[in-house]
A and B are shown apart, each in its own frame.
Chain A
Amino acid sequence: MTKRSSLSRTVRALLAVFLAVAVWVPALGAMFGAGATEDEKSRRAELLLTEQLDPWKGGDSETVDRMRVANPEWDFMGRTFLVLALANRALSFPDERARNLSVMDDVINATMRADRRFGMHYFLLPYSRRAPFVREPEASMFVDGELALMIAARQAVEPRRDLHGELRERIQALVEVFESAPMMSGESYPDECWTFCNTTALAAIRLSDLSLGTDHSALMTRWVAHARANLLDEETRMLISSYTYEGEHLDGPEGSSIFMSATNLLLVDPEFAREQYDLAREHLAKNTFGFGYAREWSAAFAGPVDIDSGPIVPIVEASPGASGMAILGASAFSDDEWLRALMTSLDFAAFPIEDGTSLRYAASNQVGDAVALYAFSFGPLFALASEPTHEVIAWNGAAQ
């Protein structure tokens, strides 16, 4: 075989492969293409919810047990996202309201009991005990912020008399941290503050204004001003993900944090929230032939791979953790184009198991599915809190 004939065979072969890829990959994207319509989101939310409710109906606790083996945080976060999703659906679907409120109560009561009985470390990774918290008495913003958000959501939908005092105490404790800590932030782990957790706590405070009749808008304004001055990555201007109690930056902006942080900030400062989402979109969002995904780190910052990011897919640098949170962000900010692409990737690479009555993603876990559920049901709770005028329903059920 001459050199030239070998070359023509090689060229033919490469061209054949190139054309095959160019035809098949977009076709695959079209085949798995998902609609990001309200009906489709609602359909998926309903199916996901059936699966999510199982452990709380005394059915399958194995799913939660399996998850706690990997990461006890996921057990806790799964509860938070489930409660928030139930709150949204209780507001959207009156026929589900009673059931959803009942499950919310089961989750909140069980979580408060576990918190009181076992302490905050029950929901934290083992390294929470390796060193003392800087602030005393020790408290985790991760646990306190999300628990407050769960209770605030419950009270916003339909207040429980017995939770009014509980919520007020928890909110006062959070506000005290924000007002007195040097970085206006609380630790989630010893000398580690996370924007994910602190923005969640701020969202809880803002949401609690509905049922407590309070107004923390001044605190929100001060926090945002402080964040702009101290918590933004120099290059991308996105919120960093973690920092010490005194303000030393630890990790830069990460996908598994920023989309949730931006979503939380919708209740704090919608303009700042939109800025953060748009920046995350710019630096972390990808869309290849209709398959959407998110990077964990921007091109400018090579951060570590951890349990929250999940295994990074090489070459494309896709992070399952960041991509899951991106679905929430895309839904919250009505970014239908990217949401469609993300849902396409979800259907292709997350191994959905759907039987007509329930849905779960085999490559995910309970918390991952709970994030998807929250994303697909997102809207009514935050809309309620964002209304310029609303009735404040006090604990005694009387409108004020």
Chain B
Amino acid sequence: MKIPRALWVAGMAVTLLLAGCSKKQETAEETSAVPSEQPAGGTPVDPATAGEITGKVTFNGPKPKLAVLHMDQDPVCVQKHSSPVYAEDGEVNGNGTVPNAFVYVKEGADKYTFPAPTEAVTLDQNGCLYKPHVLGIMVGQTLHIISSDPTTHNIHPLPKNNPEWNQSQAPGAPPIDKKFARPEVMIPVKCNQHPWMRAYIGVVKNPLYAVTGEDGTFTIKGVPPGDYTVEAWTATWGTQDQKVAVSPKGTATADFTFKPGAGT
């Protein structure tokens, strides 16, 4: 009976071949995780002369009414909140300041080298919301995704320049670690289990970024002296650019004011 043996061999060959393919796939993924657009042989930043950029982001217009997020479908989510949860996009404080705006040095820092930090940026899923709602990360830096909810979550980034992926995380499953190979502002992240959940990830080439806090202010530290274009991104009203000059050990100010009507 040689026919089945021949088939077995063929089957084995196919399996091996495919196994080979899959392995190749993995290694390809790993190498692509190494920052690809890092300028080679740039100047390192001298911490002695580095300054900072600070400022606040405000919205000049009628305060938008935020919708209530309906979490009825998953009792786990409902139980985590004692009061109604409102949408986070478009949030404006009483004094007009805007939290969760992403501010980063868009141009002017390319001549410096910024090695990707070894520590990871953590994205937590808590109360069926992403914490933080907006975050920055460097190309090649690890995004560490954990869950504090006893329900299955799903992480589905919808990038334009990076590969899309979509992975669920059951309670008790290990954290998910991912990297982004190319800069992209912003990558929306969606939970397919809880469609209201949204995070925005700003993937940038340098560590010169910040997210405005509850009070709408931000500070970008460690900026080498020079002229820069700084961009502020908001989920609701789009982006604004501004040119700033940072002197050695100086503090440059960049305030951004958004108006209704603009936006993506």
State whether these chains interact.
Answer: no
